[in-house]
Amino acid sequence: MSAPWHGHPRGQLAPRLALACGLLSMVASLHCAAADISLQQLMQQLAARRHAHASFVERKSLAVLKRTLESSGELIYEAPDRLLKRTLKPKAETLQLENGMLSAQRGARTYRMALRDSPDMAPFIDTIRATLAGEMPTLQRTYELEFRSTGGNWTLLMVPREPQLARVFARIRIDGAGDLLREVIIDTADGDRSVMTIRDIVDP
Amino acid sequence: MRHRRLYVIGAWLLLVAVASVVATRARYTADLSAFLPTAPTAAQRFLVQQLRDGLASRLILIDVEGADVSVRATLSRGLAARLRTQPAFRSVLNGEAGGSGNDRSFLFEHRYLLSEQVTAGRFAVPGLTAAISEGIDLLASPIGMLAKQLFTHDPTGESLQVLAQLEQSTTAPESLDGVWVSRDHHRTLLIAGTMASGSDADAQARAIDAIRAAFKAAQRDAGGTAAAAVLRLTGPGVFAAEARATITHEVVRLTVVSSLLIATLLLLVYRSIPLLLFGMLPVVSGALAGIAAVALRFGVVHGVTLGFGVTLIGEAVDYSIYLFIQARHGTGRNAEHVHWTRTLWPTIRLGMLTSICGFASLLPSGFPGLAQLGLYSITGLLAAGLVTRFVIPELMRSDLAPVTVMPIGRIFSRVLIPLRGMRRWLWLVAVLAVLVLYVQRERLWNHELAALSPVSAAAQQLDGDLRAELGAPDVRSMVVLAGDDEQAVLRAAESLAATLDTLVARGVIAGYQTPSRYLPSVATQLARQASLPARDELLQRLAAAVATLPVRLDRLQPFLDDVARARTAAPLLPKDLSVTSLAAGLDALLVRQSGHWYALLPLQASRAGAATIDVDRVAQAVRGTGTPGVEAVVLDLKRESDALYAGYLNEALRLSLIGFAAIILLLAVSLRSLTQLARVIAPLVLAVLAVLLGFALAGRALNILHLIGLLLVIAVGSNYALFFARQLPDDDAGQSVRMLSSLAVANLSTVIAFGVLAFSTVPVLSALGTTVAPGALLALLFAAVLSRGAMPAPGVR
């Protein structure tokens, strides 16, 4: 009974717990529920957006390399399940997610795979897509979510639930303002880091 | 006399018993490839073998429609998972990367033996610099964070190269939710490869049942709207199983229908059940003898041969009709018997021998199906004739009521009298027919093997659609390399690849598959190993190579270890692939058959061009690249099989003409009179011409079974013509009415038997029916109209 808002009401206790929850929610909302509601609000705001077009700059710091790798290009999103990441520098190539299929095009070659067959790829593209689509259930299934917001700015911290994914990725952090994403930071389990800065392009 | 009767009946019963045992123990098939010729050349034998048993023959294409995309995806996964556990299926593909974990680790482990990029140049300093800077570009790419896991082991990107090589070998359809769908997303697609060959109709039928059962189970598991989804199957094996079911069903149905109709007719004529039963004895004995002969000679009996049993009723029942109707009412058994053996039997015997002459011409045919029909008919007719001649008279009791069927004879003669007035115009039919046939000579025959296919147009349409959606599996054109050992054909495939690459560059073909992409020859693998530097050497070169690159050399230790291991690894052999799904791909392209090894390199039609490949240009290019001990042949499956069929159609035509010549010779010898001969032949030739004219006017192209039908028209018609050509004493009007009656009944029964066949949905059977039913009727009419003898007046009895 010490923290009824964490537990699930069960058996005979259920009515009483529900009542207690109701009473306590007024207090509790000052802490976690405030975040809950605004994460939901954020997700609703994001889901309302059907189309997004942004430029990005990605910086990767890898242990195997002596310097940071920088690439840039654009992101195009069509609700709810198409996301295109087109890299223009240093080499033109695209990564596209459509209907659960991933296709990566490099030069004359195209590699295709189903997203469900390569869960390792999810943090790079599907997580961004699910965030843009406001698909909270998808995110909650894959990650433990932690949400903070101050004023119009927010931070969504995601830690993989699956041990298989956790072996590769430590955490993903998305910073944003309103219904815009500003930065995606991916930390791998071996200490490498990728930072993607996003700037919205307003289509005419 | 009493002893003779005992011996005859005893011998007959014994033979019937033996034939029954042989017939019931025979193996039956409905595989249409029985109508594929036994091929003369090695390449054609290989082709026929491929059509019967090759990879393409083992594929069942599965189409799920209805419900929505995600429900169908669940069904696809459920169906595939169930089928993958069954030993009857060699592979089940639905777009899922099933077992790809195994494949990936295999390809990764053996990348230095499998990658086409592994050359001495790539592992020199400039080559390493170029390869590794490309690797760094990959790290910068959207999939860079994944690639970095590979980078320390494989900075030159050989594992990605190996994946790309395999990617070229498969043209996968579009995927939705991780499983294959058609371009319009309305169909969810799978391919199941059976262990059994496509011509094994039993195994194919079991595989089809297994797929249907697995689909039902997947539907139950998925629940909800999954019940609305529909499963459709196609492919050579499905066709084989369906063809057998159709043929079996048709043969039974047609036999029952025509037997009932003929029995009714004979019952009306004879008004005696014992006579009807006696009349059927030659037919049943003949059918049993025919099946037994085919089973003993060929080992298997084709369903279509059984369908031919129906047609045997048409002719064999005639013998007893002649016996029962034409036999004079004697004053006892002996008188009747004497008349039968002295006057009727020689005519029937000549008619029977004529038919046998015609069918004997089919025996040497390269088409096992035709040779079966020939043997079946000869044995069947001979047995039916002998039973009619020797057994029935012994069985029949003298007190059987004589048959009087005068009304039929009188009606027939009433019809004939005005017709005979038109005799002088008959030559017009012949002239018209010859003219039309000459004008249409190019379109007269259908030269495509597909004309014999019992598969409905709708089913062929579905098959075509699914093949187009699924891409590669329709292997129409391919290069076949044949040699005595596996490594030699693999080496030949490797050296051919360069030639084919230039054809791709020139747009002659869009692409090709080759077994060497799955597994290079041992020689090539050894050459790749030899181009890998020793560890210390590689370390030195690597240090020089990355000096200008932002790579930390100390992190590339795994790369050095892996190359060192690859240098001493044993070369890969086909059996090493068995742990992966790649084995299925290799098995399909590297085939061992009767002591020889064959490498298959299927060609893909150029996208820009039409669906066909300029096979001659490919053949020309391939000729320039010989490998000693390996024979290279470019095959266009459809063209080759049509060419084979056309060859055998010509052969059958030639054989039929020889048969016809033999018939003329036989008749000339027995009739000993040119006028008599002309009188017998003229109505037959006229009937054949008239039937051909009908087909030409109707725009129906003829196939090999129409030809057999024409032979049957001559066989059956010769009986009629011989009876009409017989010199009857002018005063014996009663006898000639009886003759007319028997011919009318015999003809009706033939027209019924073949008329029923004409309604069959199996093209092979309906071709026979539509030829023989009108042909037999016309042969009788022409024979009657052309006959010289006096027509009995309608009133005479």
Q: Which of B246, B241, B237 is closest to B52 using CA atoms? A: B237
Q: Do A93 and B100 touch (CB under 8 A)?
A: no
> Two tokens at A168?
């590769």
Residue B628: alpha-carbon gap to chain centroid: 35
- Residue range A97-145, pLDDT digits in tens: 887 778 888 777 777 777 776 677 777 788 888 888 888 888 888 899 9
Report DSSP state, residue B551: B
Which pLDDT value is given to residue A13? 38
Average pLDDT of span B606-619: 66
Average pLDDT of span B371-389: 90
Do B477 and B603 touch, CB atoms closer than 8 A?
yes
Q: Do A66 and B167 touch (CB under 8 A)?
A: no
Which pLDDT value is given to residue B340? 67
**Confidence band, pLDDT 50/70/90 cuts, at residue B526:** very high
Question: Regarding beta strands A101-106 and A93-98, do their DSSP bridges make them parallel or antiparallel, or are they unpaired?
Answer: antiparallel
Do B347 and B670 touch, CB atoms closer than 8 A?
no
DSSP, collapsed to helix, strand or coil, labels residue B179 as strand
Which pLDDT value is given to residue B608? 45
Instruction: Give ∠ CA B361-B363-B366 in degrees, rounded to 5.
Output: 105
**CA B26, CA B309: separation in Å to the nearest integer?**
16
What is the signed CA dihedral for B337, B342, B343, B345, rounded to 10 degrees? 80
- Residue range B619-632, pLDDT digits in tens: 888 877 777 778 88
Which pLDDT value is given to residue B461? 80
Q: Is B96 on the interface with A (CB under 8 A)?
A: yes
Partners of residue B233 on adjacent β-strands = B62
Which pLDDT value is given to residue B790? 54
Q: Is residue B247 scored above 70 in pLDDT? A: yes
Nearest to A60 among B96, B144, B164 (CB): B144
- Residue range B546-563, pLDDT digits in tens: 888 888 888 899 999 999
What separation in angstroms does the CA of B678 have from each of B652, B665, B681? Answer: 25, 12, 5
Q: Do A104 and B97 touch (CB under 8 A)?
A: no
Which pLDDT value is given to residue A28? 39
Residue A81: list chain B partners with CB under 8 A: none
Which pLDDT value is given to residue B96? 73
What is the signed CA dihedral for B187, B192, B197, B199, rounded to 10 degrees? -20
Q: Is B97 on the interface with A (CB under 8 A)?
A: yes
**CA B342, CA B153: separation in Å to the nearest integer?**
99
Which pLDDT value is given to residue A9? 35
The one-digit pLDDT tens for each residue of chain A (204 residues) are 333 333 333 333 334 444 444 444 433 334 443 444 578 888 888 888 888 899 999 999 988 888 898 999 999 998 888 889 998 888 888 888 887 778 888 777 777 777 776 677 777 788 888 888 888 888 888 899 999 888 788 999 999 988 888 888 899 999 998 888 899 999 988 888 999 999 987 665
Do A185 and A194 touch, CB atoms closer than 8 A?
yes
What separation in angstroms does the CA of B657 have from each of B36, B647, B650, B692, B710? Answer: 22, 15, 11, 15, 11
Question: Regarding beta strands B300-302 and B27-29, do their DSSP bridges make them parallel or antiparallel, or are they unpaired?
Answer: parallel
- Residue range B195-208, pLDDT digits in tens: 888 777 788 889 99
At how many degrees (to 10) do helices B704-725 and B345-360 cross?
160
Nearest to A101 among B141, B175, B552 (CB): B175
Amino acid found at A118: S
Q: B90 phi and psi, to 5 degrees?
A: -80, -35
Cite the DSSP H helix spans in B271-344.
Answer: 273-298, 303-326, 333-339
Do B284 and B384 touch, CB atoms closer than 8 A?
no
Which pLDDT value is given to residue B207? 93
* Helix or strand (DSSP H, E) at A153: strand A153-160
**CA B22, CA B371: separation in Å to the nearest integer?**
19
**CA B632, CA B651: separation in Å to the nearest integer?**
28
Name which residue leads in pLDDT, B161 or B50. B161
In chain A the first and final C-alpha atoms are separated, in Å, by 56
Cβ atoms within 10 Å of B49's Cβ, excluding its own: 19
Q: Is A87 on the interface with B (CB under 8 A)?
A: yes
Q: Do A112 and B552 touch (CB under 8 A)?
A: no
Compute the nearest-CA separation of B192 from chain A (Å): 20
Which pLDDT value is given to residue B179? 83
Nearest to A104 among B142, B151, B552 (CB): B142
Mean of per-residue pLDDT scores for chain B: 82
DSSP, collapsed to helix, strand or coil, labels residue B216 as helix
- Which residue in the block uniquely carries the two structure tokens 């990728």? A194
User: For residue A90, is the peptide bond before it cis, meaning its omega torsion is within 30 degrees of 0?
Assistant: yes
What separation in angstroms does the CA of B349 have from each of B9, B343, B352, B571, B669? Answer: 20, 11, 5, 73, 14
* Helix or strand (DSSP H, E) at B245: helix B236-270
- Chain B residue with minimum CA distance to A59: B140
Q: Is residue B332 scored above 60 in pLDDT? A: no
Q: Which of B405, B314, B297, B366 is closest to B646 using CA atoms? A: B366
Which pLDDT value is given to residue B343? 72
Instruction: Give ∠ CA B194-B199-B203 in degrees, rounded to 5.
Output: 50
Among A109-123, B149-163, B600-614, B661-675, the least confident range: B600-614
Which pLDDT value is given to residue B90? 81
Compute the nearest-CA separation of B551 from chain A (Å): 4
Dihedral over Cα of B662, B664, B665, B666: its sign: positive
Name which residue leads in pLDDT, B764 or B584. B764
Residue A168: list chain B partners with CB under 8 A: 149
Q: Do B556 and A64 touch (CB under 8 A)?
A: yes
- Which residue in the block uniquely carries the two structure tokens 């195997």? A64
Q: Is residue B542 scored above 80 in pLDDT? A: yes
Q: Is B400 on the interface with A (CB under 8 A)?
A: no
Average pLDDT of span B752-778: 88
- Residue range B28-82, pLDDT digits in tens: 776 655 555 555 566 666 666 766 677 777 888 899 998 888 899 999 999 999 9
Transcribe B262-290 into DSSP letters.
HHHHHHHHH--HHHHHHHHHHHHHHHHHH
- Residue range B381-412, pLDDT digits in tens: 999 999 988 888 888 765 455 566 667 777 88
- Of all residues in chain B, what percent carry a pLDDT higher than 70? 85
Q: Is B623 on the interface with A (CB under 8 A)?
A: no
Q: Is A124 on the interface with B (CB under 8 A)?
A: yes
Contact residues, A window 99-118, toward B, CB-based 8 Å cutoff:
99-101, 104, 106, 109, 111-117
The winner for highest mean pLDDT among A17-21, B585-589, B786-790 is B585-589
Compute the nearest-CA separation of B22 from chain A (Å): 57
Nearest to A100 among B97, B172, B177 (CB): B177
By the 10 Å C-beta count (0-12 exposed, 13-18 middle, 19+ buried), B110 is classed as buried
Among B4-8, B243-247, B404-408, the least confident range: B404-408
- Chain B residue with minimum CA distance to A117: B97
Interface mutation target, options B94, B116, B141, chain A, most CBs of A under 10 Å:
B141
Nearest to A87 among B97, B141, B552 (CB): B141
Interface mutation target, options A57, A59, A64, A184, chain B, most CBs of B under 10 Å:
A64
> Two tokens at A93?
């190539």
**CA B141, CA A149: separation in Å to the nearest integer?**
32
Name which residue leads in pLDDT, B118 or B636. B118
What separation in angstroms does the CA of B650 have from each of A76, B294, B544, B552, B661? Answer: 65, 24, 73, 75, 16
The count of CB pairs under 8 A between chains A and B is 101
Average pLDDT of span B364-369: 77
Q: Do A63 and B555 touch (CB under 8 A)?
A: yes
Q: Is residue B522 scored above 90 in pLDDT? A: yes
Average pLDDT of span B716-725: 86
